Amino acid sequence: MFLENNKHKGWIEVVCGSMFSGKTEELIRRMKRAQFANLKVEIFKPSIDVRYSDVEVVSHDSNAIQSTPVESAQNILLLASDVDVVGIDEAQFFDDGIVDVCRTLADSGIRVIVAGLDMDYMGVPFGPMPALMATAEYVTKVHAICVRCGDLAHHSHRLTEDDKQVVLGAQDTYQPICRHCFNELRAKK
């Protein structure tokens, strides 16, 4: 499945933060640089994420790159053959198996770049992201700007009353807010 004599060392990079912090933008930037370097790349996203496109990873700024939607993390191993770099967007939507998938890819000499929300709308670590961050060689935490006060934001405040953990949305559903504003809003509930 993977190159047996791959002379390159693999590793895992995680880009995390709140909604509107530039995670996907950074993933796309790194993947396009790899393409520019003539590396073989493959980008994956969870098939449930159809907000902007069924077959592209798209940032909130409308920057896009072709991707393969997958139902489960294990599908990535089946589809990521003969590549140098694998990108994975919205990793928080995958099950915990994504951690072993990333390890397997990196152990086989592949650079793995993962982007995802580190916390859900309640401020709780989101899905497999803590384990991915602990496993990664490189972690980049990006921040948005709080829409309430202008400070650095690292919370994704949900504007709707839905209490499910996974609710897909964009500016109509979420706002980036700082710790202080997050705590203020939580105290009012």
What residue ranges do the domains of the chain occupy?
Answer: 11-142
Residue pair 6/109 in contact by the 8 Å Cβ criterion: yes
How many whole angstroms from its chain centre is CA 64? 14
Q: pLDDT band at residue 158, thresholds of 50, 70 and 90?
A: confident
27: left (phi over 0), alpha (psi -120 to 50) or beta: alpha
| Mean pLDDT computed over 80-108 | 95
Given this model, what pLDDT does residue 138 score? Answer: 98
Residue 144 has pLDDT above 80, yes or no: yes
Beta bridge partners of 64: 58
pLDDT in tens, 4-51: 444 568 999 999 999 899 998 999 999 999 999 999 999 998 887 655
Out of 3.40.1180.10, 3.40.50.300, 3.90.79.10, 3.40.50.2300, the CATH code matching 11-142 is: 3.40.50.300
Count the neighbouring beta carbons within 10 Å of the beta carbon of residue 20: 22
CA max distance for the chain = 58
pTM reported for the whole predicted model: 0.85
Angstrom distance (rounded) from CA 166 to CA 51: 13
Given this model, what pLDDT does residue 11 score? Answer: 98
Residue pair 133/14 in contact by the 8 Å Cβ criterion: yes
Residue 168 has pLDDT above 90, yes or no: no
Angstrom distance (rounded) from CA 140 to CA 44: 19
Angstrom distance (rounded) from CA 126 to CA 145: 20
Nearest-5° angle of CA 39, CA 45, CA 46?
A: 155
Q: pLDDT band at residue 3, thresholds of 50, 70 and 90?
A: very low
Mean pLDDT value across the chain: 85
Residue 66 has pLDDT above 70, yes or no: no
Catalytic residues: 90
Residue pair 158/173 in contact by the 8 Å Cβ criterion: yes
